[in-house]
Structure 1
């Protein structure tokens, strides 16, 4: 049965979980990879499909795919 609640319909459009962009620093050989976030912190993510030095999307601790290498600009307002 489809819901008529507009808030529930809106929430269904938003993907669940947190997505971050990171740079792979090493593949661990056990199904995980080391990744460096933009703030310099290191995390371990599931997956080894991307080689070291490439940017990736990580969602809920799992590598979802490669990310484009775009320039990062910080503006203070």
Structure 2
């Protein structure tokens, strides 16, 4: 009789690793880019396929694709 583990089924739905939104500030010419996170930190990420000034999704230190340029709001509760 086969049993199913609900936790393992749930974990499959959640992507692995940390995902961030950042703005590309420079393409380095060696397969990496400089990206500025929303908190102001600048990091180096893998990938150069996105133009400077565009927002991107970054996962595990690699550009995964472009992100929409949406307004950001902070609400204090």
**Residues 55 and 68, structure 1, Cα contact 8 Å, conserved in 2:** yes
Q: What is the match of residue 4 of structure 1?
A: 4
> Over residues 27-66 of structure 1, what are the superposed CA-to-partner deviations in whole Å (9 max), with x where a residue is unaligned?
0000000000000000000000001000000000000000
Q: 1:29 to 1:3 in 2, by over 3 A?
A: farther
Which runs of structure 2 are paired with 1:56-71 in the superposition (5 Å)? 56-71=56-71
Cα distance in 2 for partners of 1:55, 1:3 equals: 44
Where does structure 1 differ by over 4 angstroms across 4 or more consecutive aligned residues? none
Cα distance in 2 for partners of 1:50, 1:12 equals: 29
Q: What is the match of residue 36 of structure 1?
A: 36
Q: What RMSD over aligned residues (CA atoms) do the two structures have, in Å?
A: 1.2
Give the TM-score, by structure 1 length. 0.95
Give the TM-score, by structure 2 length. 0.95
**Residues 3 and 9, structure 1, Cα contact 8 Å, conserved in 2:** no
Structure 2's unaligned 5+ residue stretches are none
Cα distance in 2 for partners of 1:69, 1:21 equals: 10
